[in-house]
Structure 1
Amino acid sequence: MTDHQAGPTSEHSANAVVEGLIEEWKMQPHPEGGWYREIHRSSQTVTRSDGAKRAGFTTILFLLKAGSTSRWHQVRHADEVWIHLQGAPLSLWDLPETGGEASRQILSLQQPVQVIPANHWQAARPEGPYSLVSCCVGPGFAFEDFTMLHELPQSEWPEGALTDLV
């Protein structure tokens, strides 16, 4: 992998880093926003408590550039671990499934790991030109377990979901 650790000094160079990462990792747009590429899907299968069979865990690279948002979404029946790899710090919001007050954590090289429990709502936004993270999901991610908040009727939105992240 090319070394992208040196922080960009201008918007032009930040865009070049983002475009380089997208090209180098062959990333594709993610429905929640940003860019991703799955880099591992466990060959081991597990059976969840609801009877569904999934890979033991999955891992993606996930890239958000300035001005983009990972909109409120939920991964049912699986915990998600966010790991900051490079770039600007990342704001990560966590909201219980039934609502309440959204908590915000800042992921950075100094505080690189945050866990979003199964069924919680989550959203993220970079605090600078771009943020590259890895997201590990266990049991493994499957799009049939994925819900975007904006696809639900507003009457079903949990209390506390910040509207600028929908």
Structure 2
Amino acid sequence: MNSTRAHQLIDTLQLKPHPEGGWYSEVFRSTASVSPADGRSLRSALTSIYFLLEAQQHSRWHRVLSDEVWVHLEGVPLALWTCDAGLRTAPAHVRLGPVDVHGTRPQHVVPAGQWQAARPIVSHTAGDFTLAACMVGPGFDFSDFSLMPGASDEAAAMRHHWPDLAVLM
């Protein structure tokens, strides 16, 4: 697992830059539609993407208005942080990767509306990228996606309470 493998995956899976950081490609969009209970217009029932982060990349603090399932596919484990929409509680940290006795698991669900950010857990011996699959239901739409604005109250709270995680903005 090295940058050669990461670049091979970027080429083979036809990944392109994602606004939150990293690389992605949509691989599935359901033809079935659902009407979200929160009043949004019709959405695909489910969408799925490949998402790759290289060692120096991270997924910036963002939120999606639908539930999102992250699944580790290949590469080093991924550190995934989540926090409630109002940042009233400290961000929770999970480690996605092959199952181990330390609590690493291959899958995690981020509930709709929660802030989330991620980065590969890089070590000199284990590799330098993470490939994940992310499924969103109701399906992903960029109008349901928002990055944490640097000048927002949320960003100020992040910098004040959790400055070590503010670097993920």
> Shorter-chain TM-score category?
0.7 to 0.9
Q: Distance in 2 between matches of 1:65 and 1:86?
A: 12
Partner of 1:154: 152
Partner of 2:31: 43
Give the gaps of 5 or more residues in structure 2: 100-104, 123-127
Partner of 2:47: 58
**What SS class does the counterpart of residue 165 from structure 1 fall into?**
coil
**1:115 and 2:138 equivalent?**
no
Q: TM-score, normalised by structure 2?
A: 0.86
Q: TM-score, normalised by structure 1?
A: 0.87
Cα distance, 1:154 vs structure 2: 2.6
Aligned identity (percent) is 41
1:54-100, Cα deviation, whole Å (9 max, x unpaired): 00010000000101000000001x10000000100000000100112
**What SS class does the counterpart of residue 167 from structure 2 fall into?**
helix
Of the three residues 92, 100, 104, the one matched with 2:80 is: 92
Which of structure 1's runs of 4+ aligned residues deviate more than 4 A?
none
Cα distance, 1:49 vs structure 2: 1.1
Give the gaps of 5 or more residues in structure 1: 1-7, 9-13
Q: Distance in 2 between matches of 1:30 and 1:135?
A: 13
Q: Distance in 2 between matches of 1:18 and 1:141?
A: 25
Q: Which moved more, 1:47-56 or 1:115-124?
A: 47-56
Aligned residue identity for 1:50: D
Cα distance, 1:158 vs structure 2: 7.3
**1:32 and 2:20 equivalent?**
yes
Of the three residues 153, 156, 163, the one matched with 2:166 is: 163
Q: Distance in 1 between matches of 2:14 and 2:98?
A: 24
